Amino acid sequence: MKETRKYRTLQEFWPFYLREHSNKVNRALHFIGTSAAVLWIVLAVCFLNPWFLLGALFSGYFFAWIGHFFWEKNRPATFIYPFKSFVSDWKMYFYTLTGKIGKELRKAGVI
């Protein structure tokens, strides 16, 4: 089903974002991609090479889009909500890293 609602705030968008990431393989691929992006960013800083930032961009989106197209079977929200999706990717990453993603998924009605 195509989403027609317009989200004005990140707080309104967050439950929608989590529902779009209900598949745990998709969330794992997002985590892998974001972790790889962090590594590329660290390398860019360590080697003072801005070209490594392309690796961060590629790895972050590559893994996420694989998860959406092959596991979640939906269109990434970043196409409609680029800023909110970017911030929510990091939010999901930190909730996953701290073991609190389950609580957020329950609040959003995903599990």
Statement: residue 1 has pLDDT above 50: no
Residue 64 domain-assigned?
yes
Pull the structure tokens for residue 16: 């929608």
Residue 32 domain-assigned?
yes
Type of residue found at 108: A
Residue 10 domain-assigned?
no
Share in percent of the chain as helix, strand, coil (round to 5): 70, 0, 30
Domain count within the chain: 1
Residue 15 domain-assigned?
no
Domain hosting residue 85, numbered range:
24-103
Q: Please state, in angstroms and rounded to a whole number, the distance separating the CA atoms of residues 103 and 107.
A: 6
pLDDT tier at 5, thresholds 50, 70, 90: confident
Core vs surface per residue 23-60: b (16+ CB within 10 A) or e: beebbebbbbbbbbbeebbeebeeeeeeebeebbeebb
> Per residue in 38-71, pLDDT tens?
999 999 999 999 999 999 999 999 999 999 999 9
